[in-house]
Each structure stands twice: as structure tokens, then as C-alpha cells.
Amino acid sequence: MLKIIATAAAILIASDCCAEARSPYPTVSFVETDSSGKTVRELKFELTDRPARTCISGDWKQAAVLADPGHYSNGAAYVMANGKLEVLLVNNICDVYDSYFGTVTNDRFSGEHVSYGLSFSKILGKVSGSYSPP
């Protein structure tokens, strides 16, 4: 019995050591602005632990839509690594991606809305965000 407990503890410790630190608040609200500072859209997601299918390699998880008044997002997914967060807003076309990409510091997001693909990359706006309880 002791051997089973020790093995289970070792597995839990090993799986936790390499996981990206997540905010204690899985809900993130984004505000996107254009070059003049005018609000373009406000989106709110729950960053889940459920795997997401995307055309991009990596450990993508589902970003459940909580608020999207303009119905902009479609099949949203996210990946977080080394303090960087990418939220794939439109996840139904391969080789053309529409994302919020930036850094997370002290439960605040700062980044850009980008569109990119095989031979292009374009910044569509600035994005800020904050985490909150669900």
C-alpha cells in the first residue's frame, strides 16, 4: 500500500513540476483598441484545461466564450508558455490565424490582436486584459 501511495505522489509531483503557472482566476476579460485608442471589442473567456483541436502545434486548450457581443470568436483556444499567452480567436481556418498574443504579468495581459499565416503577419490592434474569478 505504501508503495502505491509513493508512486502516486511521485506522478503528481512530476506532472506539477512542468506545468505552466496559471492564474487562480481562470476567467480573462480582454479589451481591444484601434490605433486611435477607441474600443473595438470586448471579449471574455474561461481558460479551461480541456484540450482543443487546432491546426497549430502545441498544447492548446479550449477557451470557453463567456462574453462576445459581436459573435467574433469561433472555436477559441489558447496556449500559455513562459509568461506568453496566445488566444486563437477564430479556429476554423487552417493556415490563417486570428489571435490575441501577448504577455501575462501579475494577472494582467498586455498584447496585440494579430492576423498571420504562411506568408503574412498583420497587427490589427492593441489588447489589454485582466483575470477575475469565474
DSSP letter at 69? T
Choose which CATH entry (3.40.50.2300, 3.40.50.620, 1.10.1040.10, 2.40.128.120) describes domain 21-132. Answer: 2.40.128.120
Return the C-alpha cell found at 80: 500559455
Rounded alpha-carbon distances, angstroms, from residue 125 to 12, 69, 90, 105, 113: 41, 18, 16, 20, 5
CA distance 118 to 116: 7
Would you list the domain boundaries of the chain?
21-132
99 close to 113: Cβ distance less than 8 angstroms: yes
pLDDT tens across the length of the chain (134 residues): 333 333 333 333 333 334 444 555 689 999 999 999 999 999 999 999 999 999 999 999 999 999 999 999 999 999 999 999 999 999 988 999 999 999 999 889 999 999 999 999 999 999 999 998 76
- How distant, in Å, are the alpha carbons of 46, 60, 88, 112, 124 from that of 49? 10, 9, 15, 24, 28
